[in-house]
Structure 1
Amino acid sequence: MKTRIVIASSNNGKLAEFRDLLTDTDWECIPQQELGVSDADETGLSFIENAILKARHAAQVTGLPAIADDSGLCVEALDFRPGLYSARFAGEHGNAQANMTKLRELLRATPTDAPFSAFYISAIAMVRSADDPAPIVTEGRWYGEVIDDQRGQGGFGYDPMFLDPRFGQTAAELDSAFKNGISHRGIAMRKLHERLRAPDLLAD
């Protein structure tokens, strides 16, 4: 019998990726909204801090183990913005088109002959309870470039503007299974994968 774990996110794109990445574990993933959990306040100063805050919040409300991701896009020439504010870069949380429009405006105001180097980062935290003193935390980074264009219909967030030069495609053009194999979230999840499958994970 699978053990239930709350996915502390209301982002449908992230939820789909989590389900795909956890299909062969002993965990049954329950989106937080199905259990009446609201989004936590992201008051941390790092992706790791925010991931832990979100996981603890979901665990506190539900009494179940919880897993959370905090992720974003960091553009080197923009002092690593949008960074922690990736989801609300243009002011409205989760408005991907507005966020990409603002990013494009900033790119055009930053003269350079070189590609805009950038990376996606994902910090994942898993807690067994709200007061777990030893959260399991992993991190993944996906390096590439941001482009002054939008290409592809897949993915979410800044994916249409994030180019992986190894394949000549944006994250939104990549097959979803292939994307999960190389993405920041996929990397972080693989680091966590074996620990999640361990039979003693919930042991005292």
Structure 2
Amino acid sequence: MTNKLTAQTPLVVASHNQGKIREIRELLAHYGLTVKTATELDLEEPEETGTTFEANAELKAVAAANATGLPALADDSGFAVDGLNGDPGIYSARWAGPDKDFAQAMRNVEEKLQVKGATQANQRTCRFIAVLCLAWPDGETRFFRGEVEGLAVWPPRGDKGFGYDPMFQPEGHSITFGEMDSQQKHGWKPGGDKGLSHRSRAFKLFADACLEG
């Protein structure tokens, strides 16, 4: 039987990334869970040695569940550019370097696209991918994947969101994630459709399968 999370269930958000933590807290707010983060609990951040988003999300979620004895939710996500053969992909955070300089990471993406002569919109297609893993102390794990298609734009626009948001213009929209507030970016509410962002699409699947309320 699949475990369910209720309003009485403590949940660990297995992340030290403040942008991810903020968005996951916003998505969880409706459900009334008691949420603690890996940062608040002073959990070690496991090395992400996986070769897929699923593997890295599982590493983080299982480590937090084992360390705390509580269910843990982890997110592994990235920016995949078709013209760069899917890079930076699972290495999106690493492209920002040890200082997490995403302005430099975006410049790295643009410089590599320029080398390839990718100046037209049809040469700059890309997507954001998010995989959520929910791990329980009893060993059960569940995975939920969300993707959103778009274009890699230059120069970056907007100072909202985090990471590569300012250079990602989702399909069907004229502004970037960096120009959207959280409600626009998520585009989802409990009982609604799948949402806009990769994270909200993964969260919708997670909520339908694992949350009560």
The TM-score, its normalising length taken from structure 2, stands at: 0.87
Task: Tell me how far apart the structure 2 counterparts of residues 51 and 103 of structure 1 sit (CA, whole Å).
Answer: 24
Unpaired segments of 5 or more residues in structure 1? Answer: 200-204
- 1:139 corresponds to which of 128, 135, 145: 145
Q: Secondary structure at the match of 2:39?
A: helix
1:122 and 2:130 equivalent? Answer: yes
- In structure 2, the residue matched to 1:25 is 31
Task: Tell me how far apart the structure 2 counterparts of residues 69 and 128 of structure 1 sit (CA, whole Å).
Answer: 15
**How many equivalent pairs are there?**
197
Task: Tell me how far apart the structure 1 counterparts of residues 99 and 68 of structure 2 sit (CA, whole Å).
Answer: 24
Unpaired segments of 5 or more residues in structure 2? Answer: 1-6, 188-195
Task: Tell me how far apart the structure 2 counterparts of residues 197 and 45 of structure 1 sit (CA, whole Å).
Answer: 29
- In structure 2, the residue matched to 1:202 is none
- In structure 2, the residue matched to 1:192 is 206
Runs of 4+ in 1 over 6 A off after TM superposition: none
Q: Which segment is superposed worse, 47-56 or 162-171?
A: 162-171
Counting only pairs closer than 5 Å after superposition, residues 162-177 of structure 1 correspond to structure 2 as 162-177=168-183
Counting only pairs closer than 5 Å after superposition, residues 40-55 of structure 1 correspond to structure 2 as 40-55=46-61
- In structure 2, the residue matched to 1:38 is 44
Report if aligned partners of 2:31, 2:212 keep a CA contact under 8 Å in 1. Answer: no
Task: Tell me how far apart the structure 1 counterparts of residues 49 and 166 of structure 2 sit (CA, whole Å).
Answer: 28
Counting only pairs closer than 5 Å after superposition, residues 54-133 of structure 1 correspond to structure 2 as 54-92=60-98, 94-115=100-121, 116-129=124-137, 132=139
Deviation at 1:194, TM superposition (A): 2.3
The TM-score, its normalising length taken from structure 1, stands at: 0.91
Report if aligned partners of 1:140, 1:185 keep a CA contact under 8 Å in 2. Answer: yes
